[in-house]
Amino acid sequence: MKKITGWLVASALVVHAGVFDKGQKNVALTVGSGSGYNSNYTIVGVTANYYAISGLSVGLGYRGWFGGNPTLNEVDVPVTYFIPLQSRIRPYIGGFYRHTFVSGDDDDYDTYGGRAGISVVQGNGYVSAGWVQERYSRDSGGDSGRGYPEISAGFSF
């Protein structure tokens, strides 16, 4: 009986582990629009994260910019900290490095930046909304950077 009780308690803890707890993994999907190179794009992305310590994720992401010319493919490495103020509402702050592959004759380029916002947790899922500010590592025709809103949804397992 003690083994069964212990197994039930351990199972309940695993099922109710926090979305941002150490050891959790999550996948976040992003869909949006953007413009550049005198084209309008549809942006689709996915990011996988691992929580090295509770609240702190490190990840690897991909975003494709479709419908414009040239085609852009981005790979990024985000680091994000979710501030443990409440169990359902978690402000976040983070940084990232991103490499953009540009089709055609244009050069690839790198960006880096930060993000901040709020995540709302429901069960093993969450929705986040925030602001991203990024800087280009090279001159982009007079643009040194840009800021934009971000909205994403994800689930942990």
Domain range summary for the chain, segments of one domain joined by +: 19-156
Q: Report residue 143's pLDDT band, with 50, 70 and 90 as the boundaries.
A: low
Task: Report pLDDT digits (tens) over 34-90.
Answer: 888 899 999 999 999 999 999 999 999 999 999 999 999 999 999 999 998 877 899
Entry pTM:
0.78
Query: Which ranges of the chain would DSSP assign to H, the alpha helix?
Result: 2-15
Can you tell me the distance from the alpha carbon of 59 to that of 98, in angstroms, rounded to the nearest whole number? 12
What sign does the CA torsion over 15, 16, 21, 26 have?
positive
What does the pLDDT look like over 79-126, one tens digit per residue? 999 998 877 899 999 999 999 999 988 899 999 999 999 999 998 888
Return the higher-pLDDT residue of 7 and 46: 46
CATH topology of domain 19-156: Porin (2.40.160)
pLDDT band at 141 (very low <50, low <70, confident <90, very high): low
Residue 120 one-letter amino acid: V
Q: What is the pLDDT of residue 151?
A: 87
Q: What pLDDT is stored for residue 89 in this prediction? A: 93
pLDDT at residue 85 in the model:
85
- Is pLDDT at 31 greater than 90 in this prediction? no
